Amino acid sequence: MIMNNKIGFIGLGIMGKPMAKNLIKAGYSLVVYDLVQQAMAELWNAGAEAASSPASLASKVRTIITMLPNGPEVREVVAGSGGILEGATAGSIIIDMSSIAPGVSQEMSRLCKSKEIRFMDAPVSGGEPKAIDGTLAVMVGCDEDDFEPNVKLLKAMGSSVVRTGEVGSGNVTKLANQIVVAINIAAISEAYVLATKAGVDPVLVFDAIKGGLAGSTVMNAKTPMILDRNFKPGFKIKLHIKDLANAIETGHQVGVPLPLTSAVMEMMQALKVDKKEELDHSALVQYFEKLAMVEVTR
């Protein structure tokens, strides 16, 4: 039997797990699914119900949230064997919070619509720290009528929830976000390497410029990690590579060259070759450090 007060949540990784926990804290009843049994057990201990498959989960709820690595995983979970569409009833809604190519979101929306199921793309920004404290920025692409009824739910996970247009626009916005973040990290990395090699303390450089025009949320979040050599992943390089690949692909599709994005993509590819793709994207500094043969630290 479908319980209208229950929410389904599929994908309990670095981001999905704390997001799901915040929904429980906000008073929602959850049914969860993930390929990793340990992740499901952790949510079960927090009060969630575990499902045996995406289809089983979808049969128990009207609202299904997905938080998955990329487009192929979204396709599989939504439309594959044992997927959401096998269990969901007409009138259900899928809120895909994964960061994927906008075209995949639109493809899934068309497929869902043929089965009278609504679809939203609602990717997030903020990384693991903001997923944990529930202050993510949520970028929503959906039919206008679907937005307001789901704002409260989304605000249990994020402090900013903005509808950017129809389905697909959420992920276009997320790609724009990821371009800005990647280029910001590259810029501060290059700057700190210059300062260090020139004999100026990067801590003092940060203190001097963070309140001026160069200051940014990215600088404030990533500089302490760089200075402390703390590259524990809040957002892995390999995931940023995925996002930039989607950005470049989308740019090619709509006729927009992305020269800066492509340059940072190759820097991250170099780190991947160096077997550093599992590190936080703040480890981009190591690309510049290798070129200059210097290490940025306190």
Instruction: pLDDT band for 13, please (50, 70, 90 cuts).
Output: very high
Q: Is the pLDDT of residue 19 over 80?
A: yes
Identify the active-site residue in 21, 174, 222, 236: 174
Domain boundary residue, one of 117, 143, 167: 167
Domain boundary residue, one of 167, 188, 203: 167
> Are residues 137 and 160 both part of a single domain?
yes
Domain boundary residue, one of 132, 150, 167: 167
CATH classification of the domain holding 149: 3.40.50.720
CA-to-CA separations, 71 to 92, 237, 255, in angstroms, rounded: 21, 18, 21
pLDDT tens for residues 125-162? 988 889 999 999 999 999 999 999 999 999 999 999 99
> Are residues 17 and 147 both part of a single domain?
yes
> CA-to-CA distance for 130 and 234, rounded, in angstroms?
10
pLDDT tens for residues 74-106? 999 999 999 999 999 999 999 999 999 999 999
Residue 290 bears catalytic tag: no
Domain that holds residue 239: 172-292
pTM above 0.95, yes or no: no
pLDDT tens for residues 184-243? 999 999 999 999 999 999 999 999 999 999 999 999 999 999 999 999 998 899 999 999
> CA-to-CA distance for 61 and 6, rounded, in angstroms?
6
For residue 61, being part of any structural domain is answered with: yes
Average pLDDT over every residue of 255-259: 98
> CA-to-CA distance for 241 and 236, rounded, in angstroms?
9
> Are residues 136 and 176 both part of a single domain?
no
> Are residues 77 and 135 both part of a single domain?
yes
> Are residues 162 and 176 both part of a single domain?
no
> Are residues 217 and 253 both part of a single domain?
yes
By DSSP bridging, strand 49-50 and strand 63-66 are: unpaired
> Are residues 58 and 190 both part of a single domain?
no
Neighbours of 170 (CB within 10 A): 30
CATH classification of the domain holding 199: 1.10.1040.10
> Are residues 163 and 178 both part of a single domain?
no
In this prediction, residue 4 carries a pLDDT of 57
Is the C-alpha dihedral spanning 128, 126, 73, 32 positive or negative?
positive
Helix (H), strand (E) at residue 63: strand 63-66
**Structural domain tally of the chain?**
2
